[in-house]
Structure 1
Amino acid sequence: MSKLTDTLIVIDMQKALRYSYNFDDLINRINKRIALYREQDLPIIFIQHHDKDLALNSDLWQLAKNLDVKKEDLKLAKTHYDAFYHTDLQKILQAKNIKTLEICGAQTEYCCDATITVAHDLGYKIQMQHDATTTFDNNYMIAEDTISFFENIWDEDFVTFE
């Protein structure tokens, strides 16, 4: 078993993104990570995005139905790609003396990338599993290539992959 970090951050695994690449498989992988964190009584933080196209508290804003979310898990709403921007994430992490993060979720090239970059700049050590993010095909790359591309950028400079 790989070493766990101080907390697991699950980004934007919401119903609105259910048609992204390998979404259901990713939920299964994330749920396995959640189980490991629960076994060690480590915090899990769920981040949920909302903006002009995704209304706060709407059905599509809700976390995916098969995601293992408990009442005691922390949940934060955000309006920007970066989960730290105008949220209490930094305060929560500091209050719990969290120094290391495991990040997973959606979308690879937007919210995951921005959060990873900012977390790194704030001094957090970040760990990830390979294929722990998802996205959609775009005009330049299929989703699989986008994920691989960003994992290559993050590897060693921003993230330690387990």
Structure 2
Amino acid sequence: MTTLENRPNTALLVVDVQNGVVAGAHERDAVVANIGCLVGKARREGIPVVWVQHSDEHLASGSDDWRIVPELTPGGAEPLVEKNYGDSFEATILETVLSGLGVGQLVVVGAQTDACIRSTLHGAFARGYDATLVGDAHTTEDQTAWGAPSPDQVIAHTNLYWTYQAAPGRTAGTVATREVDFAGTS
């Protein structure tokens, strides 16, 4: 029940599943396969798929590392949002794209769990969107050398706290790929 008026639709938001972002990610192949399943399901059900692609000084726009992984191919009519910050809404056209599609509910997948996924979930929720995280369709790389928990712990913790996220007039939650029901989230 989004707080955004006249926004009854759901979209699958695929965040930063790029060669250079997921190359060393935890359970990369399984996560990319789950995302591929969800993209296929969304397309079959007529649910918009919105792609987000990050670039910065370490991920140059147009480079091979910047490209979406070869297992996933954005459809020609599917919006592609370029971003330079963790939150996919920050200084991008994402809000305009979603508004144009009448979207008030997001199903979020992608990378990196502890950076762009976290920032985008919170950014969406703070802006009035319902936001569902697919618990087995996001990943991160190992940052333990810098004091972070192991990737499996980062993912598990994010899944746990997003399950219990709450705010007036909005819903959040975490589901598994097999549990995603696009019709039930709109």
If the length of structure 2 is used for normalisation, what is the TM-score?
0.81
Alpha-carbon separation, structure 2, partners of 1:33 and 1:95: 22
**Could you list the per-position Cα deviations for residues 19-77 of structure 1 after superposition, in whole angstroms to 9, with x for gaps in the alignment?**
21111111110111111111111110110110001101111100000114222221111
Where in structure 1 do 4 or more consecutive aligned residues deviate above 6 Å? none
Which residue of structure 2 aligns with residue 145 of structure 1? 153
Alignment counterpart, residue 61 of structure 2, candidates 56, 59, 71: 56
Alpha-carbon separation, structure 2, partners of 1:152 and 1:122: 22
- Is the Cα contact below 8 Å between 1:83 and 1:115 reproduced in 2? yes
**Could you list the per-position Cα deviations for residues 120-161 of structure 1 after superposition, in whole angstroms to 9, with x for gaps in the alignment?**
001111123222210012223111001011112211216322
Q: Is there any run of 5+ residues in structure 2 with no aligned partner, and where? A: 1-8, 167-171, 176-186
Distance apart, 1:99 and its partner CA:
0.8
SS in 2 for 1:30: helix
Distance apart, 1:12 and its partner CA:
0.4
Instruction: Let me know the Cα RMSD of the aligned residues.
Output: 1.3
Q: Is there any run of 5+ residues in structure 1 with no aligned partner, and where? A: none
Which residue of structure 2 aligns with residue 39 of structure 1? 44
Q: Which amino acid aligns with 2:13?
A: I
Alpha-carbon separation, structure 2, partners of 1:135 and 1:129: 14
Alpha-carbon separation, structure 2, partners of 1:134 and 1:36: 20
Q: Which amino acid aligns with 1:14?
A: Q
2:121 maps to 1:120: no
Alpha-carbon separation, structure 2, partners of 1:72 and 1:27: 21
Aligned residues: 158
2:155 maps to 1:155: no
SS in 1 for 2:132: strand
Percent of aligned positions that are identical: 25
- Is the Cα contact below 8 Å between 1:10 and 1:44 reproduced in 2? yes
Q: Which amino acid aligns with 1:160?
A: G
Alpha-carbon separation, structure 2, partners of 1:46 and 1:112: 13
